[in-house]
Structure formats: structure tokens, C-alpha cells
Structure 1
Amino acid sequence: MKHYQIAVIAYPYSLLSAVHGFSETFELANEACEETDLDVRITTHILSETDLLKATSKAPHYHAVLLSPTLEKASYSSNNEVITDFLITQHQQGTILCSACAGAFFLAYTGLTEKRIMTTHWALENSFKERFPKQAVDTSKILINQGDIISAGGMMSWMDLAMELIQALTNANIVRQLSKTLVIDTGKREQRYYQQFQPNFDHGDTAILTVQHYLQGHFNEQQRTTNMATLAKLTPRTFLRRFAKCTGLNPNEYLQRIRIQVACDTLEQTTLPFESIALQVGYEDVGSCRKAFQKIMGLTPSAFRQRFVSSISQ
């Protein structure tokens, strides 16, 4: 029988529903394996910081170490050397390191992920990039599996992570059985289906902030770089450089993101056809709007409405 040891780090303020959810999900997988005569068992160890402090070079080797989400920024805003040292030691022994949501910060502090692509919660993307500028990150993805490093995105993506590990340790039949038992969707999806555009207004550049505020109220109008630069009282070249530095986007990309976010909100809140919505948010060509929508959201407008709107008052 194959017996896998999995460690879940219960760091301060980690989401306990995820910490214990991992354990319970793996236990359900064990039951499914037993029912189908599959000789695989998973044992979960929930480790506190105190447990990690006690760990030495003779600490047990785990097949995988998991880092849960957290709602507390203080948990991941600085390097926790106890956790970092433990992760590095385990990885050197062949352990798979896994994170969900803000757990990605703990993995990035180790330096082991610099040549890998990671994901985290889409709302954490800017702060993640600020802290780890050399780290490649793709928050459109729910989960990125790179063999020895697995990262998952959203707050509830710990379930996707658990299923990914169960799939690797057992087989697809066990995952299908669990998805029916837990009534969860294991089909293909991406984090960008759920993301919302949240502009960064807290960068301290008042000239760029003036333009951002203007665009929020005039997104459905045609905008020229020269006019925006004049509004910011900057030369076009300086304006473009500072705008990109503050927002991470060029002005056209920024305007497009505002328009697509308004289109998403309108699709969810009204029964208007997409053709009307496209014109309302500033697109003269509906086809261009549809193409931009699908590129940013990963879904067609009709698929987006179908996924997120169960019923709309007529």
C-alpha cells in the first residue's frame, strides 16, 4: 500500500476552514480509496509554528506541504524565517510545496519559485508583484502545477489544490467520486472569470491620479494620450512613463479594463443585450468589444452572463 504524508502549516491567522478542510478532504479521499479497493492512503499532519521550531534535519519528510489562505495581511507581509527554513529543507528532500491564495507569499519568500510561474488571489496581484518583482505571476489561473511547486489562486482554491493532489496520488475516478460527494465543480475554469478590475489609486502621484479620476467618469468617451497628458500637466512621454509605473498598464489598456468591468457589471445587473452594452461603455464596434471582453475575462459575454446570473428580474 502507498502511504503519503501531507503537512498543512497552520501559521498565525491562517484560514482554519482551509487548514481543517484539507485534512477532511484527504480523509474523504481515503474512504473513496477503501471503497474502490485502491491501495492508497493519505495522512494529514497539521503543523503549528511551534511544531516547525521543534523540527530539525531529522524532521519527517512529507510528500507535500500545504499553505492555506489567510484574511490577515500581517501574516504574509514579511518573511517568516521559521516557515521559510522549513519549506526549503523539505523541498531539498523532494517535497512538493503547495500554496492557496496568500499562501503564495510564503513560497515566494523561499526564493525557490523565482524561475517558476505562480498564481495567487487576483486582488493580491499588485502587492505580490511589489514584494517579488522578479517573480512571474499569472492571476488569471485558478491553479498552476509545475511539478514540485503548485500554487492556487482564490480564497476557496484550496479545494482545487486538494483535488489536484488527490488526482496525483490516486486517480481520476477518486476525484470524480469526491466531486459528486462534495457537490463541487472540477471542470475547467479560470480565476479571471471572477476577477474585478480594481485600479490602484494609492500610489502618491497626484498628476496621474487626476487622470484616473477623470477616466472613471469619462470611460465611454474617446481619449487621446495628448489630452490626458495635458490634463496631468505633463509631456506625453513623461505621462506615459508615470502612468505605467503607477497603474501597471498603459492608458489604452487601463481604459479598456474600466470599460470591460462596467460591461461585466451591466451583464450581471440588467437584461440589456451585449450590443447595447458595448455602445454604452464606449465601443463603436461591437465586435472589438466582444473580442476584448473574451481576452480579458476568458469567457464570451453570453457565457459570462450564463455563469454568473441565475435569474434577473424582468
Structure 2
Amino acid sequence: MSESDGAPPVTTVAILALPEVTASVLFGLSDMFVGVGRDWPLVVEGRPGSSTLRVQIVSADGQPLTIANGIHVVPDASIANAAPPQVICIPEVFLLPTAEIQGRFQVEAAWLRESHARGAVVAAACSGALLMAEAGLLEGEDATTHWAYCDVLAQRHPGIRLHKRRALVTAGEGQRLVMAGGGTSWQDLALYLIARLVNLDAAMQMARLYLIDWHESGQQPFARLSASRQTDDAVITRCQLWAAEHYRAPSPVAAMTQLSGLAERSFVRRFQQATGMSPLQYVHHIRLEEAKQLLEASDDAIEAVAEQVGYEDAGYFARLFKREVNLTPAQYRKRFAGLREVLRQGRSSW
């Protein structure tokens, strides 16, 4: 990925490939980071955006290697040739908790120390904190790791203040040491780093796209419906753009019909053909998406949220929201406002 002249600097994230990592974590982190800025407009608007983060998979020597479970990986660069990263992610160290790692990752440990000394963030998911400890980065610091490795880490490095029950810990000068504990904690780690490196909204977008942490609710709470996707029909596109700005209007479908210059029946049929939904469904979807943002970001009462997005009847709004999102407004707020607050607190700690 290259920068054009005059473009703002791009944050480089290096993901450390070791033989002792699993493909799901290594490539999962890569997919999450590469998707920031690219995938949301692709899903919502039907056009790919540009990746906000530069991601490189780095290994000690840059040569192809076989990682855990027999997956073959071709790194982007060696440690010596990699672009200096602003962030280094250690996916994990997939070994028995009792396995001896002292001296096993000397090249990688030296790189972590040098990069951190230059100002880089060093982050680890799951058992990756073991390598951070071996690099000497955690002495006297708060830390966490996968529950199966907590006792071993505490025994080997008694100077570390270990928090066994915390899912995410930041430590060190500038909070530049970041650790996430559980087996799928790489997802939490990725969201946290995206919020810090880019912004809170980018992290929330990726949480929705990846259905992170709320799988039992199905896809509906996360699936931002493609209501803003424009079509090849210029007349309908003009109506879509109008609806995006005026969805609170009391009679939006009548106003769009008048704007189109078509007879009502012709307009409805043409809108349905172009967007896959009726004009009224389209307006409802825009209103509900705005309501989601308000529920996440504010403490306004449900009735106030309903009024702000164009519904005078809060009961009708609540029923419609439950039908379309598969959660009540209160349930949605409980789930997603909590995530937003966690990410906001993490970003403000930087």
C-alpha cells in the first residue's frame, strides 16, 4: 500500500507471525485492520472505500513458514526490512503453558523492545503476553493473559501485576502496552486499537460488520441495511439523497413522489425496482439507523429518540424497532452503548 504525495501519513500496523500462532487469529487481525475504512462503505453504499491502516505481516526472517494447524504463511516482510510500525500485534504464543520459551524468540523480543523504545504500541492477544514478558516490557506493569497461562506468567515474572479476570489491560508510558486475555480476545483487542488509532465510529462499524460479542442476537442488530446505497436511476437517487436529509419530515413519501415528478404508482414501482424496497420501508430503515446511533451515543429517553427520528408515537417506534432489529430499543442500547463507552474510555486514555 503506497501513499500519494500530500496524503496524510498512514498508521502502520505490524502483525507478528510465529510458527506458534493460529491462522484464525493471525488473519483475523489482518482482516479487521485492513477492513477499516474499506468495508463499511462497501456494505452500506455498494462502493469500496480505502483502507485507513497499512497492515503488514512480519516474521523474523520474512521467509514462508508453517504455523499452528499446518497453515502456510508468506509474510510481507522480515523484521529487518519491515516499515517501522506504529503498532505491533502479537496474535498469541500457541504452546503448552509449561513450555519453556526463554531464549526461543530472541530476534522477535529484541524487535519488540526496540520498537517500543521508539514509541510504538505493543499489543498482544491471548497468550501473546508471554512474549511481551520475555521481551522485558511488562516488568512492574499491569498485565493480563489467557486464563490457562496466568499462573505460569506470574511464576516466571513475579514483578508483573497480573489481573486474571480483566479482559483488557493497558499499561506503561502512554498506555502503549495493551493486552487482551481470552481465546477470542483478539477481536476485543482489534476494536480497542481501531478506536485508538482511527476513531470510535470506525471501531463500532467493524463491531457491527463482524458481529462481535453479541452472536446470540443474530445478524439483525448489526446489519446496517443498505438504505443509503445509491442506484443507477438518477431520479430515484435524487429521492434517496433527499430522504437522507429529510427523513424526519411528516410525509416523506409524498414529498419524494412530488420530487420525482412521477405519478405515485409509477414512483413506488420504480423505487421498488431500483432499491428492492418500498419508499416507506426505505424511510423507516434510515430512521432506524439514526435511532441506533442515538441509542448508542446518548442517554435520551426512548420517547425522545423516537421523536428525533420522526416518530410521534413512541410505542409504534418501539414495535417497529423490535421487528426490524430483533431487539427492543432498550436492549439495543444496553448492548451497544456499553461497547461504545468501553472504546471511548480506551481512546481517552491515550
* Length-normalised TM-score, structure 2: 0.48
**Aligned pair in 2 of structure 1 residues 75, 48: CA closer, same or farther (>3 Å)?**
farther
Query: For 1:143, which of 144, 155, 168 is the aligned residue?
Result: 168
Q: CA deviation at 1:38?
A: 9.4
Greater CA deviation, 106-115 or 150-159? 106-115
Letter in 1 for 2:58: L
CA distance in 2, matches of 1:70, 1:15: 9
The residue number in structure 1 matching 2:15 is 8
CA distance in 1, matches of 2:10, 2:51: 6
Query: For 1:154, which of 164, 173, 182 is the aligned residue?
Result: 182
List per-residue Cα deviations over 1:136-167 (Å, max 9, x = no partner).
11021111123110011011111111111100
The residue number in structure 1 matching 2:148 is 123
The residue number in structure 2 matching 1:18 is 25
CA distance in 1, matches of 2:25, 2:82: 24
The residue number in structure 2 matching 1:106 is 131
**Aligned pair in 2 of structure 1 residues 93, 38: CA closer, same or farther (>3 Å)?**
farther
Could you tell me whether the CA contact under 8 Å between 1:76 and 1:106 is conserved in 2? no
The answer to whether the aligner puts 1:65 opposite 2:65 as a matched pair is no
Q: CA deviation at 1:76?
A: 6.4
List per-residue Cα deviations over 1:46-78 (Å, max 9, x = no partner).
11221399544x853101001012432387632
CA distance in 2, matches of 1:25, 1:75: 30
The residue number in structure 2 matching 1:45 is 56
Could you tell me whether the CA contact under 8 Å between 1:121 and 1:153 is conserved in 2? yes
**Aligned pair in 2 of structure 1 residues 170, 34: CA closer, same or farther (>3 Å)?**
farther
The residue number in structure 1 matching 2:203 is 175
CA distance in 2, matches of 1:75, 1:10: 19
Could you tell me whether the CA contact under 8 Å between 1:10 and 1:48 is conserved in 2? yes
**Aligned pair in 2 of structure 1 residues 22, 179: CA closer, same or farther (>3 Å)?**
same
The residue number in structure 2 matching 1:78 is 102
Letter in 2 for 1:41: T
Could you tell me whether the CA contact under 8 Å between 2:15 and 2:26 is conserved in 1? yes
**Aligned pair in 2 of structure 1 residues 178, 34: CA closer, same or farther (>3 Å)?**
same
Letter in 1 for 2:157: F
Q: CA deviation at 1:131?
A: 1.2
CA distance in 2, matches of 1:101, 1:160: 11
Letter in 2 for 1:111: G
Equivalent pairs counted in the alignment come to 185
List per-residue Cα deviations over 1:1-20 (Å, max 9, x = no partner).
34111111111121121111
Could you tell me whether the CA contact under 8 Å between 1:65 and 1:97 is conserved in 2? yes
Could you tell me whether the CA contact under 8 Å between 1:33 and 1:39 is conserved in 2? no
Q: What secondary structure, in the 3-state scheme, does the structure 2 residue paired with 1:18 have? A: helix
Q: CA deviation at 1:177?
A: 1.5
In structure 2, stretches of 5+ residues that fail to align are: 1-7, 64-76, 215-350
Matches of residues 159-238 of structure 1 in structure 2 within 5 Å?
A: 159-185=187-213
Q: What secondary structure, in the 3-state scheme, does the structure 2 residue paired with 1:150 have? A: strand
List per-residue Cα deviations over 1:107-144 (Å, max 9, x = no partner).
01121221210100112111111111111110211111
The Cα RMSD (Å) is: 2.7
Query: For 1:92, which of 117, 123, 137 is the aligned residue?
Result: 117
**Aligned pair in 2 of structure 1 residues 59, 44: CA closer, same or farther (>3 Å)?**
closer
Q: What secondary structure, in the 3-state scheme, does the structure 2 residue paired with 1:30 have? A: coil
Could you tell me whether the CA contact under 8 Å between 2:58 and 2:82 is conserved in 1? no
Could you tell me whether the CA contact under 8 Å between 2:37 and 2:50 is conserved in 1? no
Letter in 1 for 2:84: H
Q: What secondary structure, in the 3-state scheme, does the structure 2 residue paired with 1:166 have? A: helix
Could you tell me whether the CA contact under 8 Å between 2:59 and 2:79 is conserved in 1? no
CA distance in 1, matches of 2:38, 2:181: 27
Could you tell me whether the CA contact under 8 Å between 1:67 and 1:98 is conserved in 2? yes
Letter in 1 for 2:176: D
CA distance in 1, matches of 2:51, 2:21: 28
CA distance in 2, matches of 1:38, 1:3: 15
**Aligned pair in 2 of structure 1 residues 184, 133: CA closer, same or farther (>3 Å)?**
same
CA distance in 1, matches of 2:29, 2:89: 9
* Length-normalised TM-score, structure 1: 0.54
Could you tell me whether the CA contact under 8 Å between 1:100 and 1:120 is conserved in 2? yes
CA distance in 1, matches of 2:35, 2:82: 27
